[in-house]
Amino acid sequence: MHEVLGVSFGHTSNHVGAHLYNIQESHIPYKRDSVLSHDNNVFLSSYRGGSVTYTPRAIVYEHTGGYGPLGKYEYFEPKVEVPKDLQVIQTREKVPKNEYQLALDEGKDEPGALDVSSTRYWSGYSKLLYNPKSMNTLTSWEHPDGSNVAGIDGKTSSLGFNRQVPKLLFDTFDKGVETYKDEAESSMDQFRNSLEKCDMIQGLNFVTELDTAWAGFTNSFITDMKDEFFNNGINNKHNIWVHTLSDNIASSSLKTNTLLSRIKATVELASNSTLLLPMAIDPNFQVLNQSFDQNSNWHKSNVFAFMINSLWGLNNQLQAPVRMSQIQDELLRGYSSRKVVDNLKIHQVNKPNASPQIQDVSLKDIANIDVLHNMVQDMDIAKSSSLNLGLYSSMEQHSYNDFPGAFLSKSYIASPTEHSLIEKLEEQKGPINLYKNRYVDEVSKIDTTPKIWNSDSHFLELCIGSSQGQFKNTMKYYRKVLKRVRDNEIIEDRSELIEQISGLIDEYTTGYESDSDDDD
Handedness of CA 294, 300, 304, 309 (dihedral sign): negative
Q: Give the per-residue pLDDT at 407.
A: 84
On the 0-12 / 13-18 / 19+ scale of CB atoms within 10 A, 460 is buried
Lowest mean pLDDT among 126-130, 251-255, 358-362, 419-423: 358-362
CA distances, 350 to each of 58, 421, 494 (Å): 36, 10, 48
480-512 pLDDT per residue, tens: 999 999 999 999 999 999 999 999 999 988 655
Q: How far apart are CA 42 and CA 424, in angstroms?
A: 32
Mean pLDDT of 206-226: 98
Asked if 469 contacts 393 with a C-beta cutoff of 8 angstroms, the reply is yes
Residue 70 has pLDDT above 50, yes or no: yes
* pLDDT over 70 (residue 433): yes
Decide: 62 and 137 in contact? Cβ < 8 Å: yes
Asked whether the beta carbons of 443 and 458 are under 8 A apart, the reply is no
Pairing of strands 343-348, 458-464: antiparallel
**pLDDT interval class at 369 (50, 70, 90):** very low
Q: In the prediction, which pLDDT does 336 show?
A: 93
The candidate with the shortest Cα–Cα distance to 41, out of 27, 31, 61, is 27
pTM: 0.89
**pLDDT surpasses 80 at 331:** yes
pLDDT above 60 (res 307): yes
| Displacement of CA 118 from its chain's centroid (Å) | 23
Q: Residue 515 pLDDT > 70, yes or no?
A: no
Measured distance CA(455)–CA(347) in Å, rounded: 10
Region label for 57, one of left (φ > 0), alpha (ψ between -120 and 50) or beta (otherwise): beta
* C-alpha to C-alpha distance for 161 and 144, rounded to whole angstroms: 7
For 150, phi then psi, to 5°, come to -75, 135
pLDDT per residue as tens digits for the range 135-182: 999 999 999 875 545 444 444 457 999 999 999 999 999 999 999 999
Nearest partner of 480 among 398, 403, 366, judged by Cα: 398
Query: Which domains are seen in the chain, by residue range?
Result: 4-78+90-332 (3.40.50.1440), 343-472 (no CATH)
Reported as a single tens digit per residue, the pLDDT across 231-248 is: 765 556 789 999 999 988
pLDDT: which is higher, 246 or 399: 246
Q: What is the mean pLDDT of the chain?
A: 86
Contact 269, 215 (CB under 8 A): yes
Q: Per 3-state DSSP, what percentage of the chain is helix, strand, and coil (rounded to 5)?
A: 35, 20, 50
Buried b (16+ CB within 10 A) or exposed e, 134-144: bbbbbebbbbb
Buried b (16+ CB within 10 A) or exposed e, 328-363: beebbeebeebbbbbbbbbbbbeeeeeeeeeeeeee
